[in-house]
Structure 1
């Protein structure tokens, strides 16, 4: 499999945003469930535990990373079934993420946004998000899961050379 990178960089007043999109032939509520229900997130990203609500923190397992680490994730905003904003800190930095869903006819578009402070390191994180979003597609379509080796390092140069739109 040779996946095609789709990520783009957009300049904002607070810094660059890395945006990766996927489109699903499914109702927005069903896609939302794939992003927020622990048994469904476990299929493509990892399970989570805790009491989910804006301003609260949950524990999320990155089940497909080396060592399957658990991280604390703060829910900054939750507006079902359209917007989820989360943040976390780990040894790699501060992560601010948004998942935005819009309906287009019988399709739902997922716009995954990572709010960055700089573009350094985008060559490492961009391929990772492409991989995880393709895992989401595979989980929803019940098709074989992709291999991370198809994403990194082959997509690194694409992301490092992205212009700010």
Structure 2
């Protein structure tokens, strides 16, 4: 079954970005932990090492195969449990990505708004489906679902045209 594309195009922190929301019936502190604590991140995307107080951590994705290169995540702003702004750069490469995660809570329901900078339509064809996949994995991890049951091949290339159109 092909999942739905959930992303939209917006300017975030001065960057042309793909933006997606996910809603959790959970307190904001729990969702914050799911997107910032290494052991909680490991359940759906990867792990980080280092000291965030230094302003950066080393992050490695866990669903990208054994040859996934570590990324340095520079923390620009951190306002727990509401907002974190980051830039990532794969070690040894030039490309950098800007991310913003914002959380709001209302009556026990928390909305996560995620954004990543996207420089062009061709890059959007992979970034968009990739984040629909990973954010669906986050939802599965936080709701007791089977993260392993989600298959990236259901997302890419099926959702690519949606994201190409957004950034064309």
Same fold per superposition (TM over 0.5): yes
Superposed CA RMSD? 1.9
Asked if structure 1 preserves the Cα contact closer than 8 Å seen for 2:15 and 2:98, the reply is no
Which structure shows the higher helix fraction?
2
Q: Assess if the C-alpha contact under 8 Å between 2:121 and 2:166 holds in 1.
A: no
Q: Deviations over 1:82-118 (max 9, x none)?
A: 0011102234721000000011222100000113344
Once residues 12 and 140 of structure 2 are traced to their aligned partners in structure 1, the CA distance between those partners, rounded to angstroms, is: 32
Shift of 1:24: 0.3
> Quick check: 1:113 aligned with 2:90?
no
Aligned length in residues: 163
Q: How far off its partner does 1:124 sit?
A: 1.0
The match for 2:43 is: 43
CA contact (8 A) 1:15 1:118 kept: no
Alpha-carbon distance, 1:71 to partner: 1.3
CA distance in 1, matches of 2:58, 2:158: 31
- C-alpha distance in structure 2 between counterparts of 1:92 and 1:24, whole Å: 35
Q: Normalized against structure 2, the TM-score is what?
A: 0.89
CA–CA distance in 2 between the matches of 1:50 and 1:26? 28
Q: CA deviation at 1:11?
A: 4.3
Contact 1:138/1:144 (<8 A) preserved = yes
5+ residue gaps, structure 1, are none
Contact 1:9 1:163 in 2 (8 A): yes
Match of 2:96 in 1: 94
Could you say what secondary structure the match of 1:123 adopts?
Answer: helix
What is the TM-score with the length of structure 1 in the denominator? 0.90
Show CA shifts across 1:33-52 (max 9, x none).
00111110010011111101
